[in-house]
Structure 1
Amino acid sequence: MKKRRSLVWTGMLIVLVVAAGLGAAAFMNSRYGWMTPAVERFEANGIQLKFRTAGDQLERYENGEWKPFLVKGIDLGATVPGHDPGELAVTKEQYTRWFGQIAATGANTIRVYTILPPYFYEALVAFNRKHADTPLYLMQGIWSPEEKLIELKDAYLPEIKEAFEEEIVHAVGAVYGDTTIPPKPGKASGKYKANAGPYVIGWHLGTEWDPVMVTKTNEKHAAVPVAEGTHVTAKPEASPFERWLAGLLDDLATEEQKRNWQHPLAFTNWVTTDPLAHPGEVLYNEDLVSVDPMHVTAGDWLAGYYAAYHVYPYYPDFFRIDQTLNDVTDAEGNPDPYRSYLRKLKAHHAGIPIMVTEFGVPSSLGLAHLGPGGRDQGGHTEQEQGDINVAMYRTIIEEGYAGAALFSWQDEWFKKTWNTMPFELPADRRAMWLNVLTNEQMFGILGMYPSKEEKITINGDASDWKKLKKGKDKFRLETPLPGWKEVWAAHDEGYLYLMGELEQPFDAERQLLRFGFSTQAGGNKHAAELGGIVLDEGLDTLLTIGRDDETEMTIASNYDFQSRLYGTRYGMIPYPEEQQKDDSGVFLPWKLTVGLAMEPPDSKFNMPFEDVLVGKLQRGTNDFSSTQYNSLAGWEAKGTTVEVRIPWMMLGFSDPSSKQVITYEDSGKAFLTKATEGVRILPWISERAEAAGAGAGSAAKQVSLEAIKPYTWDGWNVAQYVERLKPSYERMKEAFNSAP
């Protein structure tokens, strides 16, 4: 009986001890967040560490010892199509699904740029608790007051420094799940309860620094003394801007230490403000000032300090013109400027880890900069994107970097780039449609495709068109000229689609198929391509389908955006007066500018104007299940069937979601737009001169373009999209899984 009573008391004592432990845990969780994970960590003097720097590498505490750790990272954006980043439209369910897909690549780290909603951290902690042996670590970015910095050009202004310090406090609280952030437009807010702190691999402070802002800050505050921080201090040789950064890093360290944790620290940097000299750079601002991580030290911070850079192979331009980067060659003996640059940058940062936290190329039709070795900013299929990304990642690791993070996980429709920005109007509706000419929108290895991506397959087979609902999903076009049985049109957020059934099989050696497009008054009523066809209204753009190398979108010379902007306004390219006239009869190739004409004193030396053809449509299929899959495919013809998809901007649209087109007028400062009722489409067939003899061709006749009913649609305020992993995803999976 006494033994049984003893067991009862022992059981009660255990219950009390457990209850006390739970009470203590509840107290800790009330301060440091619920869902606090049980992660192995190193403890010294009450400070907990999971990661630390050791020489030029990163180490993780695992199985009771410190072991080298290579960062295999992916940068994660904050939005989905139809939304700007500040709307924070990614759902918890999407994050959870994405974490699984990212982890499946072999990646061990995700980098985010700013504070995300509470459910992001909840989803990450929940995912990692289910995958305790292979968690996804978090590189947490802290967004700078970027717009104010660029506008005011003085980092020391109280309004800027105070805003940044507040962001640091909020970021640390959000990560550790012990804060409530009040609502603010464009910012995440709410009650943060999930403690993701133990999964942090490092902090990433700030954004890419504007060189003019850095220079002005240095000039205005040259007398600012070096202040010794508690954990992070600027060295005596530090510039005023570097001292400012050191102070913010010290604020970050002090805030995190309140949680009895330490993680490695870094500030964001990029090639434009790197500490190296670039004698081959043409623009002064691209080599104007340095922000040197080596001028900052974190002596009293056990977790250490590292350098983080965004390094792309095509920007700035010195990557392809600076002869000092031709000192390293690849396996074929060709100069490898990217590897040369990485090697020089690594040598400068001797003694601390350095990572490339942004690298990659986009799978877009459009491109904005040329890079050596074909590593251009765009113009790549998804397979080519993967091959280039893998090659860059392996180069980074081979050069001894502590890791790298691929930019980016998902495509981002809201993004802009310099050579298409003037034509995307209104700018605040950019996220509503996919402009495949804007390369910045298509860096992801998770594709965000327009809504008919899986409904219309470009393959020369009309069977998928027959499944579309007449009037709702497709529209039958009028075909006043002979040679066509029927022509259908459809659209989505990325393209205008056409499917034509011919009376006879298409023979590219004998014929040219033509589609003329008009959205407004103006353009060409006559042209060599029209043969003997006489129109009562002009065509803005023209598609010619012939041999594979002939198939091309062209644009009326007086409508051509390229000539109007860089010929009339900037005087960088020839623009003959006769081409500026309405009904000039000339259609020009569709081009994008990739380099502006520059000469001293505005630049260090002369650079010619550079542009590239983008109107050439590639023949192929966008059938993802096919071994011939080509993400850039624009047309295919088989037998009597021809299928086409045309990017909206090539038709003159500045925003298809509100049916806005670029007009023929010019304000002198910006292009003007107006709403269109739709697109009038005229198909015809031209017999080749060598087959039919000289003459206008069998289709010659008068046609009333105004009498043709336009293809039209309702505008949209909700963007539909299809989410799918690209072939570049599989290539990165191979690279990550084969890395050390």
Structure 2
Amino acid sequence: MSKLARKRIILWITIGIILIGGVTSLVFLYLPPSHTSYATSDGTEMKFQTSGDKFLRYDGKGNWKEIFVKGVNLGATVPGHFPGEFPATEEDYLRWFQQIHDMGANVIRVYTIHNPVFYTSLVKFNRDKGENPLYFIQGVYSQEEQLIESKDAYGGGIPKAFEQDIDKVVSAVYGDLDIPVNPGFAGGKYTTNAGAYLMAWHIGTEWDPEMVENTNKVHAGQAPYQGKYFSATDKASPFESFLASMLDRAAAKEQTYGWEHPVTFTNWVTTDVLKHPGEPLFQEDLVSVDATHVKPVNWKAGYFAAYHVYPYYPDLFHLDKTLQTIPDGKGGFNTYKAYLRKLKAYYKDIPIMVTEYGVPSSVGVSHIGPGGRNQGGHNEKEQGEINASLTQDIYDEGYSGAILFMWQDEWFKKTWNTMRFEIPADRRSYWLNVLTNEKQFGVVAMGSGKSDKLIIDGKLDDWNSLPKDQVTEWDKTTPGISKMKVTHDEAYVYIGLELENNFDPEKSLMYLGTDTQPGGDQPKNELPNKTLSDGLENLIVIGKDKETQVKVAPSYDFHQRLYGKYGYWMLPEQKAADKIAFQPWKLAVSLTMTPPDTRTAHPFQDETVGTLKRGTSDRKSAQFDSLTSWQYSGKQVELRIPWMLLGFADPSSQQVIDYSPLKTGRTFSTLKTAGITFVPWIVDRATKQISWPGGNESKLDLKNQPIYKWNPWETVEYTEHLKSGYNDLKDVYSKMNK
């Protein structure tokens, strides 16, 4: 008798005992989920399979019908936590599942094993969904760090560890696992069989090209892997044989539960099968991992290719002229669609899905894509429109599925061009750095605690609803400003100004200098013939729309320190005037590329991110803009300033970037600040007259200036909202008939 048969007998005996005892309410908890699957001649159950380049679903009536897989990647965390903490509750999962299902998606993808509550919640959610449930694709993480460090997929016990993880994940999906709960890992008793709602297995992570190349060199001449369910072809590289063995392991383990599901491994543009003559970086076109070099040999559910494809990375999307073949209708080219077409032409005999794609809604930006499809710099409306257009591109090019990255915003994430400034790294989840675009890919906005309480609209009446101990106020901080209010949350420092006269940016220009530590620079251009007892780190400029921004002191300029003469020296030598002028706040988006280290030369590129956008943060307003930073109305001016623009490395522990010279590896260091000292002044544009706290004096002691202080925090408050992109996806999904 098979293991599966024994489990079923025990299950029905248990149900019978419960019924005899009259405790019928418990039956619901243990009864296997209702589903209609296909049974093969040996009794193996199937719900999905591949045929040619089609992905098929069994309809329960004897027919296999092609479907388009459409859905989202689902993370394992919420603000204030890292993924290994697995903080999501049943309430979270059930709410998200309903929203995703209502959006018209048919699948969610998870990257690794979640806690038992995930699988229990999904089965519970699907109980009444009949033949229209929400399916899931289960991922298995590879030993990513070990692979990169060893540069050998067969070394350091990696294959054995990977196989053990595969076994664990498969057992968890079928409710047959009991493992200790250890920090950083999912664990507990897995008793819910979620196999009926599984769509496919998604093995591994994005592969480091140097690791792949080295694995192939070290194991050159190795015979292709031959397994019971999956094998490598004669054309397979040693690394592709490694992948075949892992797929075979997953299939063998699933067979013990009497099921078969389609299988794939993770891939991305960096290790794709195409050649990109216009890509300047060698490692981005170094080696290929080819899904056609792995074959199912005794696996009826089949196999498909899966790629992560974003429209802005690698640089080939805006530099490779071989992709500039499809006009985008805006005077440029849709290189994303052109890439999809080439990749699909190669994988003409097996299904292919894009299982990660999308753009974030963030102030920060880190890569430039054609047609404005950048990695960041979009508000929520723009994000939704771009994501919908990318989804349509994938569908139109004959792919079998599109799984958007990502369902929820993730505060713990990092990005290459801000991660050096987020110190300590293990506190990233305690605050929302809107300059880090990776944090805001979600369809669901995970906003900071006061984002619903303080609406940026130029009206300060909602400040009165805050507890008094959360707001610090000062009267008559400078001539022309009758009151200044300051508060904060996990993402912003909020500033409310009440003026003596209506604010008119055509007639006056306001400044708010900020000081967080000894040092800094004197604002000689903005405050001529005046002296402060200590220098400023940043300067908030409030005027016309194009003028309003946060500027950084020249000696404190992160950008210049990292990429200037004493850093990587990718920026030109500063002019004398720039060494005393407060500078626009910038982020790098592309580093200098120079042969022979790269194929072709390309200049350093950066983007100004300190500009403050005027608008409203009221989600109920038709003019809502998620990137809104300030607004004015009559005598009132209201701002919210991202923490990092004021020099903060971690506001939750009051850490600011200090002035220490860059250390080895161009790393920054921090110190704990006593608070933010504000220095406000107003300049009359016509007369150039300055109204400042020093009155008729030419010097000002900052010790007498308003200083905003707060307590460190270890827990966070956050808000949760569906972005407008939710409805964009709902609309595009509704038109996809397969």
Q: Identify the TM-score tier after normalising by the shorter chain.
A: over 0.9
1:323, distance to aligned residue in structure 2 (A): 0.1
How far apart, in 2, do the equivalents of 1:643 and 1:695 lie? 24
Larger CA deviation: 695-704 vs 240-249: 695-704
Tell me: CA distance 1:138–1:486, structure 2 relative to 1, closer, same or farther (3 Å): same
How far apart, in 2, do the equivalents of 1:700 and 1:324 lie? 66
1:576, distance to aligned residue in structure 2 (A): 2.9
Tell me: CA distance 1:546–1:658, structure 2 relative to 1, closer, same or farther (3 Å): same
How far apart, in 2, do the equivalents of 1:311 and 1:526 lie? 45
Whether the 8 Å CA contact 1:264–1:306 is kept in 2: the answer is yes
* Code of the aligned partner of 2:199: I
How far apart, in 1, do the equivalents of 2:459 and 2:328 lie? 43
Per the alignment, residue 38 of structure 2 pairs with: 42
CA deviation vs aligned residue, 1:528-552 (integer Å, no higher than 9, x gap): 1123432111111001111111111
How far apart, in 2, do the equivalents of 1:21 and 1:100 lie? 29
Whether the 8 Å CA contact 2:682–2:690 is kept in 1: the answer is no
Tell me: CA distance 1:739–1:250, structure 2 relative to 1, closer, same or farther (3 Å): same
Q: Secondary structure at the match of 1:706?
A: helix
Per the alignment, residue 84 of structure 1 pairs with: 82
Tell me: CA distance 1:516–1:708, structure 2 relative to 1, closer, same or farther (3 Å): same
Whether the 8 Å CA contact 2:311–2:370 is kept in 1: the answer is yes
Whether the 8 Å CA contact 2:304–2:352 is kept in 1: the answer is yes
Per the alignment, residue 12 of structure 1 pairs with: none
* Structure 1 gap segments, 5+ residues each: 1-17, 28-32
Mapping of residues 394-405 of structure 1, within 5 Å: 394-405=392-403
Whether the 8 Å CA contact 1:146–1:207 is kept in 2: the answer is yes
Per the alignment, residue 719 of structure 1 pairs with: 716
Per the alignment, residue 142 of structure 1 pairs with: 140
Q: Secondary structure at the match of 1:529?
A: coil
How far apart, in 2, do the equivalents of 1:447 and 1:676 lie? 30
Per the alignment, residue 152 of structure 1 pairs with: 150
How far apart, in 2, do the equivalents of 1:199 and 1:574 lie? 57
Per the alignment, residue 653 of structure 2 pairs with: 658
Per the alignment, residue 72 of structure 1 pairs with: 70
Q: Secondary structure at the match of 1:285?
A: helix
* Code of the aligned partner of 1:630: D
Q: Secondary structure at the match of 1:276?
A: coil
Per the alignment, residue 483 of structure 2 pairs with: 486
1:526, distance to aligned residue in structure 2 (A): 3.8
How far apart, in 1, do the equivalents of 2:451 and 2:225 lie? 57
Per the alignment, residue 11 of structure 1 pairs with: none
Per the alignment, residue 629 of structure 1 pairs with: 624
State yes or no: 1:457 paired with 2:455: yes
Kindly report the root-mean-square deviation, in angstroms, between the aligned alpha carbons of the 2 structures: 1.8
Larger CA deviation: 345-354 vs 519-528: 519-528
Tell me: CA distance 1:114–1:321, structure 2 relative to 1, closer, same or farther (3 Å): same
1:350, distance to aligned residue in structure 2 (A): 1.1
Per the alignment, residue 319 of structure 1 pairs with: 317
Whether the 8 Å CA contact 1:533–1:700 is kept in 2: the answer is no
Q: Secondary structure at the match of 2:669?
A: strand
How far apart, in 1, do the equivalents of 2:74 and 2:266 lie? 16
How far apart, in 2, do the equivalents of 1:385 and 1:180 lie? 41
State yes or no: 1:638 paired with 2:633: yes
Whether the 8 Å CA contact 2:480–2:691 is kept in 1: the answer is no
Tell me: CA distance 1:534–1:216, structure 2 relative to 1, closer, same or farther (3 Å): same
- The structure 2 residue matched to 1:616, chosen from 602, 611, 614, is 611
State yes or no: 1:706 paired with 2:703: yes
* Code of the aligned partner of 1:240: P
Tell me: CA distance 1:682–1:20, structure 2 relative to 1, closer, same or farther (3 Å): closer
How far apart, in 1, do the equivalents of 2:689 and 2:122 lie? 69
Larger CA deviation: 319-328 vs 584-593: 584-593
- The structure 1 residue matched to 2:270, chosen from 272, 276, 297, is 272
Q: Secondary structure at the match of 2:417?
A: coil
Whether the 8 Å CA contact 1:280–1:322 is kept in 2: the answer is yes
* Code of the aligned partner of 1:651: L
1:476, distance to aligned residue in structure 2 (A): 0.9
Tell me: CA distance 1:262–1:528, structure 2 relative to 1, closer, same or farther (3 Å): same
Whether the 8 Å CA contact 2:225–2:244 is kept in 1: the answer is no
Q: Secondary structure at the match of 2:148?
A: helix
State yes or no: 1:558 paired with 2:555: yes
Larger CA deviation: 278-287 vs 531-540: 531-540
* Code of the aligned partner of 1:424: E
Q: Secondary structure at the match of 2:678?
A: strand
State yes or no: 1:506 paired with 2:503: yes
Tell me: CA distance 1:257–1:24, structure 2 relative to 1, closer, same or farther (3 Å): farther
How far apart, in 1, do the equivalents of 2:10 and 2:656 lie? 69
Larger CA deviation: 330-339 vs 359-368: 330-339
Q: Secondary structure at the match of 1:341?
A: helix
State yes or no: 1:115 paired with 2:113: yes
Per the alignment, residue 584 of structure 2 pairs with: 589
Q: Secondary structure at the match of 1:665?
A: coil
Whether the 8 Å CA contact 1:139–1:200 is kept in 2: the answer is yes
Per the alignment, residue 729 of structure 2 pairs with: 732
Tell me: CA distance 1:708–1:24, structure 2 relative to 1, closer, same or farther (3 Å): closer
* Code of the aligned partner of 2:409: D
Q: How many residues align?
A: 711
Tell me: CA distance 1:528–1:329, structure 2 relative to 1, closer, same or farther (3 Å): same
How far apart, in 2, do the equivalents of 1:323 and 1:20 lie? 63
* Code of the aligned partner of 1:322: D
Larger CA deviation: 529-538 vs 438-447: 529-538
Q: Secondary structure at the match of 1:135?
A: coil
Q: Secondary structure at the match of 1:447?
A: strand
Whether the 8 Å CA contact 1:153–1:213 is kept in 2: the answer is yes
How far apart, in 1, do the equivalents of 2:371 and 2:457 lie? 31
Tell me: CA distance 1:20–1:322, structure 2 relative to 1, closer, same or farther (3 Å): closer
Whether the 8 Å CA contact 2:456–2:638 is kept in 1: the answer is yes
Whether the 8 Å CA contact 1:226–1:234 is kept in 2: the answer is yes
- The structure 2 residue matched to 1:283, chosen from 276, 281, 293, is 281
Tell me: CA distance 1:696–1:227, structure 2 relative to 1, closer, same or farther (3 Å): closer
Mapping of residues 334-353 of structure 1, within 5 Å: 334-353=332-351
TM-score norm. by structure 2 comes to 0.94
Whether the 8 Å CA contact 2:417–2:587 is kept in 1: the answer is yes
State yes or no: 1:527 paired with 2:517: no
CA deviation vs aligned residue, 1:200-239 (integer Å, no higher than 9, x gap): 1110000000111111111111122113110101000100
1:601, distance to aligned residue in structure 2 (A): 1.4
* Structure 2 gap segments, 5+ residues each: 1-7, 18-28
Tell me: CA distance 1:21–1:598, structure 2 relative to 1, closer, same or farther (3 Å): closer
How far apart, in 1, do the equivalents of 2:396 and 2:563 lie? 42
Structure 1 runs (4+) deviating above 4 angstroms are 18-21, 24-27, 577-580, 694-700
* Code of the aligned partner of 1:490: T
